[in-house]
Structure 1
Amino acid sequence: MSDLPILGAALNVNALETHRKLMLDKPRDLELQDFCLSETLNGDWMPLVERAKTLLDGHEGRVGIHGPFWGFTIDTVDVDVREVVRKRLLQGLEVCEALGGTHMVVHSPYSTWDHNNLDNYENARAQKIELCHLTMKDAVKRAEDIGCELVLENIEDKDPHARIELAESFASKSVKVSVDTGHAHYAHGSTGAPPVDYYVKAAGNALRHIHLQDADGYADRHWVLGEGTINWHSVFGALSKLESDPRLIVELRDHDGLPASISNMAALGLAQ
């Protein structure tokens, strides 16, 4: 059991208090979800950070946050919207610094429409990457300065490689790759994308973060691990070949399913 990967979790601060004993029983990585809302980032979030730090006394895993994403994409063409997105990313990194966080999740800009149309327009792939650079350049520099990684999470991505190309284009130690298993399974089942383990293999050692959630291949379910149709043996088999030590973050709609998710993966001999 001691050689099996250790699962962490994505929780809000209230759920962290509920599951604190579990999160402290091993060096489980934590992702706090409270800081993805503009209302929170524009307000006084420091008491929330201080409460989290108190609850994390004795915690030995890595800590990060899910960055802001509601209402925008990082490839926005609108110059005014771009300034808002730039501000949100920097606000998220300010939280990370206060928290001592080492990762922030950023959503991929690649849509299903992109998959069918990027090669329909001249230089569209390069232009999309350039737009992301215009939005993210200040956040990347800030992340480098505070020792934080911006991990690009697949959302609608049908091509598991496009996001990796985007991450590599920054040539920065602070821009890496995330895989969300449920998003990948949705893309596989509903849009004809490859299966989940292919997303892990495509990322290779650029993979520094993974959202583990089960699903049915139709929607973004965030079910307890083992209660959907993802082939977990193939996913953990692909993960076992990596040397990048990605954060293994269980991300559920119902946080109370965290113990069952860990138990189910332990019963399969895949994780602890």
Structure 2
Amino acid sequence: MAIHQALPVLGVALPLAGIRLHRDWILDKQRDLEVQDFFFADVLNGDWRPLADEVKQTIDGHTGRLGIHGPFWGFSIASKDPDVRAVVHKRMHQGLDVCAHLGATQMVIHSPYTTWDYNNLDDHQDARQATIELTHAAIGDAVRRAADMGVVLVIENIEDKDAHIRVDLARSFDSEFVRVSIDTGHANYAHGSTGAPPVDYFVHAAGDMLHHVHLQDTDGYADRHWNPGEGNIRWASVFRALERLNSNPRLILEVRNKETVRAGADHLIALGLAQ
């Protein structure tokens, strides 16, 4: 007799204003929450603690898993420029400061791999290893601190055409506190516009290294951040791939229109894929 497994509970990525708007829905099923107020340099360089305290007050009673989207604007975590790596070091630690203040246990950071890399890394001797070493130089100290804090850094695909290369980068840290994220819309953009594999292949490539998913829909041309159901992602195949995992990744709706995020959730619920 088959064992019935409960459908996964959808989480959501929102700034404070969106959390306030959807608070009851979040708390009703204690959905995983990703706070998206703390990746801006001007916020991190200023006094962000009052804002973080407002977030804490607003989510009082939340017992789901809590994370933040870490800083990413204006840099690569594999920069060859030592001055830029110093900025990366600073931003990663600022993000971890926020995690400590909120009690967050996960921080999303961005993959360094570009479409250009897919075609050119193997044209340069040791370029693959050099990218890994540069990333270690930039965020290695943050990884060690994250491990001490119990915070998992998840590396999200951005331009990645190779579904495996980011996974190999995460494994190179040999730490349970570095794992991967998949943004379904980014994967679908890469599939439609650069010849990357379809979204479910990204899930298969990550396997149990996958600890976080941004759920958003696209047309395969641009990074639309539409509600699931508004684009052309084959959601049944994505969730079938997710069913095979033991890592229990956070399934986080990340859409552009924060007011209508529950419409995307309702679409996946109506398909019988989630709750």
Q: TM-score normalised to the size of structure 1? A: 0.99
- Of 7, 16, 19, the residue aligned with 1:4 is 7
* 1:93 paired to 2:99: no
* 1:168 paired to 2:175: no
Q: Which runs of 5+ in 2 are unaligned?
A: none
Residue in 1 aligned with 2:261? 258
Distance 1:13 1:146 in 2: 24
Residue in 2 aligned with 1:121? 124
Please provide the CA RMSD for this pair. Answer: 1.0
Distance 1:231 1:60 in 2: 31
Q: Superposed, which structure 2 residues align to 1:66-215 within 5 Å?
A: 66-215=69-218
Letter in 1 for 2:37: D
Residues 112 and 158 of structure 1 are in contact (CA less than 8 Å); yes or no, is this contact kept in structure 2?
yes
Q: Tell me, what secondary structure is at the counterpart of 1:249?
A: strand
**1:17-59 superposed Cα distances (whole Å, 9 cap, x missing partner):** 0110111110210001100001000111111111111111111
Residue in 1 aligned with 2:39? 36
Letter in 2 for 1:224: N
Letter in 1 for 2:134: L
Distance 2:55 2:134 in 1: 35
Distance 2:22 2:173 in 1: 37
Show structure 1 runs of 4+ deviating over 3 A.
none
Distance 2:44 2:262 in 1: 30
Deviation at 1:174, TM superposition (A): 0.7
Percent of matched pairs sharing the same residue = 60
Residues 12 and 32 of structure 1 are in contact (CA less than 8 Å); yes or no, is this contact kept in structure 2?
yes
Letter in 2 for 1:32: V
- Of 61, 66, 69, the residue aligned with 2:64 is 61
Which stretch shows the higher mean deviation, 1-10 or 137-146?
A: 1-10
Q: Tell me, what secondary structure is at the counterpart of 1:159?
A: coil
Letter in 1 for 2:161: K
Q: TM-score normalised to the size of structure 2? A: 0.98
Residues 186 and 219 of structure 1 are in contact (CA less than 8 Å); yes or no, is this contact kept in structure 2?
yes
Residue in 1 aligned with 2:49? 46
Residue in 2 aligned with 1:235? 238
**1:33-90 superposed Cα distances (whole Å, 9 cap, x missing partner):** 1000010001111111111111111112111110000000000011111101100000
